[in-house]
Amino acid sequence: MIAYKFLGADATAPFTRFAWPLPDGRPAAWVEAPTHPCRSGVHACRRNDLPLWVGPVLYEIELGGEIVAGPAKLVASRGRLLRRVTAWDDRLRDAYARVCADRAHELALGPAPPLADWDAVIEPSIPEGPALLGFVAARIAEERNGRAAYHDERRRQAAWLMERLSL
Amino acid sequence: MPESPDHVTCQEVVELVTAYLERSMAADETTLFEQHLNFCEGCVWYVEQMRGTVEATRRIAEDDIPADARERLLMAFRDWTAP
Amino acid sequence: MPLTVRDASASEEELGLVTAVRAGNEQAFTTVVERHYAAMLALASAYVLAPGTATTIVHDAWDAALAASDGFDGRTPLRAWLLRFVVRAAEPLAARPDGVAPESSPPAVDRGRFRGADGAFPGHWRAYPRDWRTLPDDVLRGADVRRIVAETLNALPPEQRVVITLRDVVGCPSHEACEVLELSEATTRERLHHARSRVRAALERHFDA
């Protein structure tokens, strides 16, 4: 199964700091990690999950063995990085952050009454990166229109990413 | 414990951090926790502070046995083994 | 993270040591003492604070362990088995600060540091805590930090101090601590959480001063 994985700029996984073997034109080595009992295993996301896990660098990953689908990610007993998604670069990251910020402004100030306090957080959040802006926009959508709107906003974000990344 | 089924707040994170480090949270809650850490630098730093705290606590362990304690225990042992 | 295998029973070597101790072998006894005395003293001190009393408790525990040594069946690790004797000797003597309700604990972080319920992004940091990775290495390892940790531990309610001592100072894994203290995982985790939160807060006050 093909999925996606964000890694840090140094190609380490964000929570475990595991250093992933990198592809060099060919798929990288398989990494084995049992999924039971402590929910370790190889974590990856489906295209719809991309906004939730936005990070510095994006890879396409092949998953194998036992694969468990959670609400926001996949956990597999083995995985190997296939290729870096080079379209996900600094320029696209900044563009995504900007798109999320603009949406957040629209949601906060568009309809009446204006959510000025919520709006005030948006621009100062931009230096912290696209993951935060994605949350800010979705959270403001939720404040406006409830839980379903949070998920709708995340779907919009995923659609934007899929289109720009050709996934 | 989290109020929302879709996201956790920083205030919730600081109460969940021990369960997270102990790996005792349910999978769904762990996922929400990690999603939050993915965008919230402040909470990443807080979790690191907690790790640093645990390390600092580890370092106050005193491994030496006072010399007189060793002697005292040996005497007690000899008394115990004596018929 | 690698899977940790739950080693919930004594090793062959430990069973051999206890057999040798029972046969009067001083070398075996000394080995056991050297391995476990420090942990026993740490736990006793967590109950009673006064060093003299803690030492007495530890010696009483060793006497009791020797007397009961034919009951060591290896189903628990030797350390856990020995620590149980400390718990039994220490619990009746546990220091309790006056007027403190047993399970009272403040939030891990002052509520005022988070955005309020009636504003934007309720529950999120008003201002981020500090990145301690920017602190010089020797600061976290220094004598000041050790002193603050020790002082904070001394000021904890004893039931929290006992848990954090077993888990973080002695290094018992969770299941061993539960066994030694005869508490559920949920209870030990809650007490550990409160204790660690206080120590973190004390260190934060120190670094931010």
* Torsion (CA) A124, A127, A129, A134 in degrees, nearest 10: 20
Res. B1: pLDDT tops 80: no
d(CA C64, CA C53): 16
Which residues in chain A are closer than 8 Å to B34, comparing Cβ atoms? Answer: 14-15
d(CA A31, CA A8): 17
Q: Give yes or no for B17 touching A (CB within 8 A).
A: no
Mean pLDDT, to the nearest integer, of C78-107? 81
Domains of chain B, residue spans: 10-81
* Torsion (CA) C180, C184, C189, C190 in degrees, nearest 10: -120
d(CA A65, CA B19): 29
CB nearest to A147's CB, from B6, B23, B35: B6
Structure-token match 């106050």, residue found: B60
DSSP state for residue A8 in the 8-state scheme? -
Which one is predicted more confidently, C174 or C95?
C174
In this predicted model, what pLDDT tens digit does every residue of B3-58 receive, in sequence order? 899 999 999 999 999 999 999 999 899 999 999 999 999 999 999 999 999 999 99
- CA B50 to centroid of chain Cα atoms: 8
Which residues in chain C are closer than 8 Å to B80, comparing Cβ atoms? Answer: 63, 66-67
Chain A contact partners (≥3 CB pairs within 8 A) = B, C
What's the pLDDT band for C7 if we cut at 50, 70, 90?
low
Mean pLDDT of chain A: 93
Helical packing angle, C185-208 and C143-155, nearest 10°: 130
For residue A120, the surrounding DSSP H or E stretch is: none
Mean pLDDT, to the nearest integer, of C112-124? 96
> Encoding tokens for residue C1?
């993270």
d(CA A44, CA C42): 43
Mean pLDDT, to the nearest integer, of C119-125? 97
In 3D, which of C183, C147, C161 has the Cα closest to residue C44?
C161
What's the pLDDT band for C10 if we cut at 50, 70, 90?
confident
Helical packing angle, C174-181 and C185-208, nearest 10°: 110
Cα angle A139, A110, A161; round to 5: 50
For residue C79, the surrounding DSSP H or E stretch is: helix C78-90
Mean pLDDT, to the nearest integer, of A23-42? 80
Mean pLDDT, to the nearest integer, of A42-51? 95
Res. C2: pLDDT tops 70: no
What's the pLDDT band for A56 if we cut at 50, 70, 90?
very high
Res. B2: pLDDT tops 50: yes
In this predicted model, what pLDDT tens digit does every residue of C145-158 receive, in sequence order? 999 999 999 999 99
d(CA B2, CA B12): 6
Please state, in angstroms and as integers, the Cα–Cα distance from residue A13 to each residue in A5, A7, A8, A57, C99, following that order.
9, 5, 6, 10, 48
A165, HSE (Cβ side, Cα atoms, 13 Å): 26
Residue A37 is predicted with a pLDDT of: 45
Q: Report ipTM for this prediction.
A: 0.94
Q: Output the CA torsion sign for C98, C99, C102, C106.
A: negative
Residue A133 is predicted with a pLDDT of: 98
Residue C104 is predicted with a pLDDT of: 61
Does the model's pTM come out above 0.90? yes
Res. C99: pLDDT tops 70: no
Res. C199: pLDDT tops 90: yes
Residue A29 is predicted with a pLDDT of: 95
In this predicted model, what pLDDT tens digit does every residue of C69-82 receive, in sequence order? 999 999 999 999 99
Q: Give yes or no for A151 touching B (CB within 8 A).
A: yes
Residue A10 is predicted with a pLDDT of: 87
Amino acid at A64: G
Cα angle C183, B52, C80; round to 5: 30
Residue C3 is predicted with a pLDDT of: 41
For residue A75, the surrounding DSSP H or E stretch is: strand A74-84
Domain B10-81 -> CATH class: mainly alpha
Chains A, C: CB contacts within 8 A come to: 17
Residue C1 is predicted with a pLDDT of: 38
Q: Is A159 exposed, middle or buried (0-12, 13-18, 19+ CB in 10 A)?
A: middle
d(CA B73, CA C29): 9
In 3D, which of A82, A18, A53 has the Cα closest to residue A158?
A53
Res. C5: pLDDT tops 90: no
Phi and psi of A80, rounded to 5°? Answer: -145, 140
Residue A20 is predicted with a pLDDT of: 94
Judge contact between C181 and C83, C-beta under 8 A.
no
Judge contact between A87 and A50, C-beta under 8 A.
no
Mean pLDDT, to the nearest integer, of C164-193? 97
Q: Give yes or no for A134 touching B (CB within 8 A).
A: yes
Which residues in chain A are closer than 8 Å to C1, comparing Cβ atoms? Answer: 16, 38, 40
Residue C98 is predicted with a pLDDT of: 56
B53, HSE (Cβ side, Cα atoms, 13 Å): 30
- CA B48 to centroid of chain Cα atoms: 12
Contacts of C169 (CB under 8 A, 6+ apart): B57, B58, B60, B61, C42, C153
In 3D, which of A23, C169, C126, C192 has the Cα closest to residue B62?
C169
d(CA C65, CA C80): 12
Best of C105, C161, C193 to disrupt the B interface (most B CBs within 10 Å) is C193
Fold of the domain spanning C111-208: Arc Repressor Mutant, subunit A (1.10.10)
Mean pLDDT, to the nearest integer, of B75-79? 93
Res. C103: pLDDT tops 90: no
Determine, for residues A135 and B30 on separate chains, whether the beta-carbon distance falls below 8 Å: no
Res. C8: pLDDT tops 80: no
Residue C4 is predicted with a pLDDT of: 43
Q: Which residue in chain C is spatially nearest to B36 when comparing CA positions?
A: C124
Helix spans in chain B (H): 10-21, 27-39, 41-58, 67-81
Determine, for residues B6 and A129 on separate chains, whether the beta-carbon distance falls below 8 Å: no
Domains of chain C, residue spans: 12-93, 111-208
In CATH terms, C12-93 corresponds, of 3.40.50.620, 1.10.1270.20, 1.10.1740.10, 3.40.1160.10, to 1.10.1740.10
Please state, in angstroms and as integers, the Cα–Cα distance from residue C153 to each residue in C101, C147, C148, following that order.
17, 10, 8
Residue C64 is predicted with a pLDDT of: 96
Residue C97 is predicted with a pLDDT of: 58
**Do you find a cis peptide bond into A113, omega within 30 degrees of 0?**
yes
